[in-house]
Every structure is written in C-alpha cells, then in structure tokens.
Copies of this chain bind each other. A is one copy, B any other.
Amino acid sequence: MQPLEKENIFIHNHRVGYAETDKMQFLHHSNYARIYENARWELFRSKGISYASIEELGIMMPVIKMDTTYIKPAFYDDNLKIKVEIGELTPVKVRFDYTIVNQNNETINKAQIQLAFMNSKSGRPTRTPEFILEKFKEPEMV
C-alpha cells in the first residue's frame, strides 16, 4: 500500500486533435512533451499551486531531462488519460513520472521528466521553494 502515490497521483485527460496527427495516422511523437507539460501543471493546480503563481514569485522551471518510451501509437480522437505523479523531489530539482493509457486501457507511453528551479532574473539555479516541498512531502507514518 502506497499512500503517498495514491495521494499525489493526478489524472489529466487529453483528446487527440487532428493537428497532432501525422501522415502515419499517429499522434506525432513531438506532441507528448506538450501534453505532459499540461498534465503536470494540472497536478499542481489540484494541490492549490498554479504554475503561473510560481513564475510570479520569480521562479521558472525549465525541463532539464526528458526520457520517453513510445509503447503503442495513439490515434485521432483517442481519449487519453495521463497519469502523473512526482517521482522525486529534492532541494534542487523535481522529477515527474508519467503513464498514458488510452480509452481501451492500454498503456501507450511512459515518461520521466526532470525540471530545475531557476531564478528568473539571474537565470541561475535556485532551491526548490519551501511551499512546494511542503505540499508534496510524504505524509507522516502514524
């Protein structure tokens, strides 16, 4: 039983649009990064933190690593569920772990995406804000 994961997992929905398809009929692989981005900020929003409010504090969160495995293709009009959770959260970076399933409950894609924290004025790395550590910390074991 993993209460942490259960609490912090979030499911984002995405309907595959026509513009996202390619001549192979597939959701083109370049579109997943954008879908993953939307999913992680909806996870944050569900915790009461909008990414916009983080940037207003002078902190930006650029992607520094993205590893994606394409297991099965997605097609036009597919109704995708993007499961996202925080896989790692340290004082200097955060990693989001993703699984996408389609409407037939097939796992079609997995990804791990690392982001850094950056001071938007200096462009230099900065530490993970305390309120983010606080929100996503493991619940106390009783």
Contact = CB atoms under 8 A, between A and B. Distances in A.
Interface of A: 15, 17-19, 21-26, 28-31, 33-34, 37-38, 41, 50-52, 55, 60, 62-70, 73, 76-77, 120
A18 B41 contact: yes
Given A18-B23, A18-B41, A34-B17, A29 B66 contact: yes
A77 B62 contact: no
By secondary structure, the A interface counts as mixed
A34 B19 contact: yes
A37 B30 contact: yes
A109 B89 CA distance: 23
Nearest to A116: B70
